[in-house]
Amino acid sequence: MTHNERFLDYQTEINAALDAAIPHSECLYSKVFDSMRYSLNAGGKRLRPLFVLEFSKMFGVFREDAMPFAVALEMIHTYSLIHDDLPCMDDDDLRRGKPTNHKKFGEATAVLAGDALLNRAFEHILTHSKFSSDITLDALKCLSEASGADGMIGGQIIDMEGEERALDIDEIKALQNLKTGALFKASVLIGCILGKASEEMSEKAEKFAEKLGLAFQIKDDLLNVEGSAELMGKDVGNDERSGKSTFVKLLGIDECKKMVVSLTEEAISSVRELPGSDFVVWLANELISREN
């Protein structure tokens, strides 16, 4: 199996698990499930759940055993996207080539669907985990910290403040390390927790996620300037129109392109000693040249 085939295989299995995690419902409040499923099944690269599966695999964990944790990561990522698109946040109309959740179901339902996905993520792990209580709780703690006020939500707060004033480069790095990087790091660390990786191996994995997460976000900033709305599946150029502080705005296109390459190289260097890291090395290199 080629690396690309392996990537597609991961996506297929993750998509099937996500579909099964939120079954169709005919209850009185089925609208919230429809809204949850709409965004959860809208596509995407599935990088965060993939990293849970791949890093746990490095340390001997079967894919099916790690899948509940992978599904939970994607539920939380999806909830963050639903809320990020709301008029009170980024006010976006398109996500992955489809109307955003609030455009399809209304703002109130979109808020509740996001809330429901956050809660369902933890419920899903507690219901389906096959690991010991200690390992399960360690993974849950990692996930809750990454998605909370000291993680993803904290990053979103800085992001919104950046609409009212210019952020400097250190603030933008902090923003992205929290808003994007926190879930990237959680995905690899949960894999390490499930596989009982050593502290040294976990630190290497965390550095990989930190550097790759930052490279991923800088690439997103570049695509918001140079990318195609058709390929991106969402509006482009909106960062500049809203006056948002970004890496591109502060450093320029050429410097940002150099940073994407150098950060990716640092990420790759940190995982070369991990067992069976060739696939994540390939994937990191693929993300440099992505168009969406």
Burial (0-12, 13-18, 19+ Cβ within 10 Å), 97: middle
Residue 232 confidence (pLDDT) = 47
The CA angle 152-155-158, to the nearest 5 degrees, is: 155
Identify the DSSP state of 33. H
Within the chain, strands assigned E span: 94-95, 98-99
Query: Following DSSP, what letter does each residue of 77-100 receive, concatenated?
Result: HHHHHHHHTSTTTT--SEETTEE-
Cα separation values, 222 from 2, 102, 138, 255, Å: 29, 26, 36, 11
Give dist(CA 257, CA 26) in Å, integer.
49
User: Cα torsion at 113, 116, 117, 120 (round to 10°)?
Assistant: -160
75: enclosing H helix or E strand: helix 63-84
Give dist(CA 123, CA 234) in Å, integer.
31
pTM of the model: 0.93
Average pLDDT of each block of 10 consecutive residues along the chain (292 residues)? 95 96 90 96 94 97 98 98 93 90 97 97 98 98 97 93 87 92 97 97 96 93 76 54 78 94 96 93 91 78
Give Dmax over CA atoms of the chain in angstroms. 54
